Every structure is written in structure tokens, then in C-alpha cells.
Amino acid sequence: MAKPALAEAVADRAPSATMVTGYDQRHLDTYSGLLDAEADGAEWDEAALLVLRIDPIREPERARRAWETHLARARWLAAHGYWHLLRAQN
């Protein structure tokens, strides 16, 4: 699993807005990495370390929360959010 290049560190929680946010746009590689990790069968702690760059041994609660919320956001973007992105480009 390749490590995505991040422009900034991830937040403890991903956004939950019903529209694509600036944070989402800056972290598309992060979301993609999490979806790839899930498809590859990676464990949550491996994805937290390699994709989110949060050490699950040193910060287990933060790592788990960030992984859960960012993966949920990635799924939302894949199912619904891409329409917002397409409209923004037109």
C-alpha cells in the first residue's frame, strides 16, 4: 500500500457536512488511500499509520476515531460527494 502525499495533517475527525468542504478537497488523496486500504483488506491500525500517519500504538483512540470518520467520509464522497466536485468544476 502506497503512502499518499499529504499537504497537511489530518484532523481528528473528518467533516460530516452534506457538501464537499475545502478540507475534503485538500484530502482527496487521503480518502482515496483509505478506500484502497479497505479494498486491500488492510486492518484499521495499518491504514491509520500508513494513510493518516497517526500512530495507533501511541494514540489509539485518536487513530481509531480519525480512521473511522475519514473512512466514512471517503465512502460518502465516493457515493455522493463526487457530484459536488463535478458541479464545482463546471
- How do residues 58-67 score in pLDDT, each as one tens digit? 999 999 999 9
17 falls within a domain: no
More confident residue, 62 or 84: 62
* Residue 36 included in any domain: yes
pLDDT digits (tens, 9 = 90+) for 12-55: 999 999 989 999 999 999 999 999 999 999 999 999 999 999 99
- Expressed as residue numbers, the domain containing 83 is 22-89
- Count structural domains, the chain: 1
Fill in the amino acid letter for 80.
H
Q: 59: alpha, beta or left, given left = phi > 0 and alpha = psi -120 to 50?
A: beta
Give domain status of residue 51, yes or no: yes
DSSP per-residue letters across 7-61: SSPPPSS----SS--HHHHHTHHHHHHHHHHHHTT--HHHHIIIII---TTTSHH
Q: Is residue 4 part of a domain?
A: no
Contacts of 37 (CB under 8 A, 6+ apart): 1, 46, 47, 50, 51
In a domain, 13, yes or no: no
